[in-house]
Amino acid sequence: MADPSEPSGAGDARELTPSRRAAVASRWRWVGTSLSVLLFVASIVVLYQIVSTVKFADVRAAFDRKPLETLALAWLLTMTSYMLLTGYDALALRQVKAKIPYRTTALASFTSYAISFTLGFPLLTAGAVRYWIYSPRGLPAGKVAALTVIAGSTFLLGMGAVVGAGLLFRADAISQLNRLAPTLNQVIGAGVLGLIGAYLVYAALGRRHLKVLGRRLELPSFPVSVGQILLGIGDVTCAAGVLYVLLPEGYGVAFPTFAAVYAFACLLGIISHAPGGLGVFEATILLAFWRLPYEGMIGALLLFRICYYILPFCIALAVLAGVEIRTRLRAFQSRVAREEDSED
């Protein structure tokens, strides 16, 4: 692949100077930030308009009606989803040719996702947590950055596959939600799946590279890419299942249709850069299922936030605090032992 920093002519040289590239990058960052803020504000307005019509007593009743078995199932699906997330890091570590024990991989994956899901800005927050855990194991910053990007692409590939399959195979049901013609939904779904298929073909033809933050990043191979998609589908399906089982009985939404809407709402939440997609995710779900009673849906969304975001976030913070305390105790004990040996 040609180096884009090499000018091909007199006209290109001016456009590709470092100052020119920095100006273009800054402009696009400003545009992206503006669109994210606009999406977040619009979603908050929509969410406020919806919530203002809901009675608190109805939401509380929705909480009280949830049996213990349903909450247990939601928590089981949450744990399964986070367990599948550890596979994201395992595949990424294989791609960057790093050998890390699975217990360390699981620790880094769980804590980084639990924190980044809640705080937002996953490349920054998840990357920082991963670096804190992986760097003492000898993984340099460049490989941690590459790992974070690859793991993030796994997340997006899985969501894209679920959205595309839902639009293609559940076009009639989704057309009642997004109010588009079933044929148009099928065309969009086929296009999304076609892009994923093209990516797989691209990965199968040989080694491909990209430059990310000035670093050369090798794209995942075909076997790793297939594994990414399968893991992503499994994770998104389990995460969607958490909210699905928390819905009130009698809503009558088929799970494949619901999973596609869930994945699309998550994608919008990621684009917004809102912490955990807060506001954007909820507004998208409520708008999509506008025919259903809002009281029960809002109660389910609140329970979902607690189950899938808040509890894992609290557990991750406690685990990281425990790891840090243990590390410092070991360092203190080692220092005391060295001092005693020197005295002897």
Question: pLDDT tens digit string along 220-234?
Answer: 888 888 988 999 999
> Model confidence over 288-310: pLDDT tens digits?
887 777 777 888 888 898 889 88
304 vs 124, more confident: 304
* Predicted local distance difference test score (pLDDT) of residue 187: 95
State the average pLDDT for the chain: 80
* Predicted local distance difference test score (pLDDT) of residue 15: 44
Find, among 8, 39, 102, 95, the residue nearest to 271 by Cα: 39
| pLDDT of 285 above 70 | yes
315 vs 42, more confident: 315
Q: What is the DSSP letter of 309?
A: I
> Model confidence over 20-75: pLDDT tens digits?
655 655 555 565 556 545 645 654 565 565 556 556 666 566 667 778 888 899 99
* Predicted local distance difference test score (pLDDT) of residue 147: 86
* Predicted local distance difference test score (pLDDT) of residue 120: 74
Q: Please list, in sequence order, all residues whose beta carbon lies within 8 angstroms of the beta carbon of residue 252, skipping any fewer than 6 positions away.
A: none
Q: Which of 68-72, 178-182, 236-240 has the highest mean pLDDT?
A: 236-240
* Predicted local distance difference test score (pLDDT) of residue 135: 85
Please say whether the beta carbons of 272 and 43 come within 8 A.
yes
| 196 band by pLDDT with thresholds 50, 70 and 90 | very high
* Predicted local distance difference test score (pLDDT) of residue 107: 93
* Predicted local distance difference test score (pLDDT) of residue 242: 95
Find, among 282, 257, 255, 258, the residue nearest to 269 by Cα: 282
Question: If you search the block for the tokens 């986070």, which residue do you land on?
Answer: 82
Q: Please list, in sequence order, all residues whose beta carbon lies within 8 angstroms of the beta carbon of residue 85, skipping any fewer than 6 positions away.
A: 109, 110, 113, 235
| pLDDT of 4 above 60 | no
Handedness of CA 190, 193, 199, 201 (dihedral sign): negative
Q: What are phi and psi of 195, to 5 degrees?
A: -65, -40
How far apart, in whole angstroms, are the C-alpha atoms of residue 94 and residue 99? 7
> Model confidence over 134-156: pLDDT tens digits?
988 888 888 888 888 888 888 88
How far apart, in whole angstroms, are the C-alpha atoms of residue 244 and residue 284? 15
